[in-house]
Amino acid sequence: MAKKIKDPGIGKTSNRFAKRFINPDGSFNIKHINRPRSLSESYNYLISISWFKFFVLVLLGYIIINAFFGIIYTFLGVSNIITPTGNVFKDFLNAFFFSAQTITTVGYGTMSPKGLLFGIISSFEALIGLLSFSFITGLLYGRFSKPRANIRFSKSIILHKHEDINRIMFRLMSRTANVMIRPKIEATLALSLEDEEHKYVNNFYNLKLERSSITYLPTTWTIVHPINESSPLKDFDEKSLKQLNGEILILVSYYDESFAQEVHQVHSYVLKNLKENQRFVPAFYYDHDGYTVLDHNNLDRTTMNKPT
């Protein structure tokens, strides 16, 4: 018989319309309100966002700073850096380009500040440029050096019958060519059930897996939970399983040679997404030269069970 375990940190209180605890990208599905902000949060945010967002923010910051100083130079008189054109917009563009040359400490010789005031402003802008590029360099180093797991989980979670026992299965693999050393996995089932007082409460169970750890993972790993007598899902058939408000919470840990330390990644599957009577398509095969060929596109592919 399956035994309940203590709350792993999610919380026992639930709701009829409660959403999943963990999003598909591995983040926890929590909305924060009235949370105090701190400047140190910006560093964690900037090294965690996608590369596209990061470079967009860098570009926007670069444009805003140069536009700000360009307006100042135009307002104080663009004649102090170059001969005015008589057109305000063209003069602003010249001031903007002068600002870009100043903040990057790149001087082409065609424009230079004249007078004490413009010399002070341009010197201050050059200082901002040095500090900004130092900050961005630190962020780039932090983004490359931050230890992070690089695991790809199958989008599909299947219900496969083998040897007269239903088994819940999903797969995982490394996104890169690196071999995962001593990967181990923990799976926790969270069931939101209605009690006698018509309140919804989260119940937690450890899901026993056929294998919870292996020595190394160069290809794919199929995680299997047999629904036997010790499973908390043994009293539910295929149809009722998908009707449960249940979520399988997953924590995978392994040693990553790139960072020379253990890394972790969380993921989850909801029971309503179970695919019945399916099996995974093999993700690797051997070529004519005897090499193992791993097809990353096959991680999510399933096919119908062959009739017995």
Q: What is the pLDDT of residue 130?
A: 93
Q: What is the pLDDT of residue 241?
A: 86
Q: What is the pLDDT of residue 52?
A: 95
What do you get for the CA distance between the two ends of the chain, in Å?
30
Q: Show pLDDT as tens, one digit a residue, over the chain (308 residues).
A: 577 888 888 888 887 778 888 888 888 888 888 888 777 788 888 998 899 999 999 999 999 999 999 999 999 988 888 888 889 899 999 999 999 999 998 877 778 888 899 889 999 999 999 999 999 999 999 898 888 889 999 999 999 888 888 899 999 999 988 899 999 999 999 988 777 777 888 889 999 999 999 999 999 999 999 999 889 998 888 888 888 888 999 999 999 988 889 999 999 999 999 998 888 999 999 999 999 999 999 999 998 876 55
Q: Which residues pair with 200 in a beta bridge?
A: 194
Q: Which residues pair with 246 in a beta bridge?
A: 191
Q: What is the pLDDT of residue 1?
A: 54
Map out the domains of the chain with their CATH numbers.
Answer: 40-145 (1.10.287.70), 149-304 (2.60.40.1400)
Q: What is the pLDDT of residue 308?
A: 52
Q: What is the pLDDT of residue 307?
A: 57
Q: What is the pLDDT of residue 111?
A: 85
Regarding pTM above 0.75, the answer is: yes
